[in-house]
Amino acid sequence: MVSLSSRRWCAVLVLALVLTWPPVALAAALSTEVDGTGIQVEVVEDLAEAHLGEWEHLTFEEILATDPEVVERLRNQEAIWHRAPGGERLPEFRARVGRAVEGLLAAHPDGDVLVVAHGGVINAYVGPILGIEHEMFFLPENTSLNSVVVEGERRRVRFLNDVLHLTDPELFEAPAAGPSRDAASG
């Protein structure tokens, strides 16, 4: 998926590729994909997923065992992270993510900035633009693209959850070198 995603990213002019924290193996995989493109790669810690307090280092199964209502909320596709004891609350999470993204936009005013982020981070930034208060209003597909257009101080969501690079990867392949005009007429 990384290769298909990066092929699509490199098909447009991207000034900066921003990775959320912790980047782990993703940074290494992406650095080879964008090597030689001139794309600047940064890691921004404030684009980390919501801090989960006492749930921070628990397995998913351990989290489910802490609160019986969590299982029911998951069955109904409702957000659970706000239930984490000592966890980051939605207003603080959205403020942190918003400051980080807006800082990146200010640092790169003349081109596109691509942020590779988890679903909660995407929801935290896009939700306020759309006027949605729910903390996890949609579940982004892995490697999906979500586009926000910057128009001065205004932000407009262009599209959400686009996976065209996975469903139709041929659209983002480099054009094959065809026969030269002379050879074809020959």
Helix (H) / strand (E) element for 41: namely strand 40-44
In this predicted structure, what is the pLDDT of residue 186?
A: 43
Sorted by sequence, the CB contacts under 8 Å of residue 29 that are 6+ apart come out as 2
| Gap between the Cα atoms of 12 and 162, Å rounded | 15
Question: Which of 170, 115, 166, 168 minimizes the C-alpha distance to 141?
Answer: 166
pTM of the predicted protein model: 0.79
Dump pLDDT digits (tens) for 65-88.
988 898 888 888 788 888 899 999
Dump pLDDT digits (tens) for 147-183.
999 999 999 999 999 988 888 888 888 766 555 444 4
In this predicted structure, what is the pLDDT of residue 128?
A: 97
Dump pLDDT digits (tens) for 9-41.
555 555 566 666 555 566 666 666 677 777 777
In this predicted structure, what is the pLDDT of residue 68?
A: 85
Domain 2-50+88-185 has CATH 3.40.50.10420: no
Mean pLDDT in residue range 48-63: 91
Q: With the C-alpha atoms ordered 53, 135, 166, 9, is the resulting torsion angle positive or negative?
A: negative
In this predicted structure, what is the pLDDT of residue 94?
A: 97
In this predicted structure, what is the pLDDT of residue 10?
A: 56
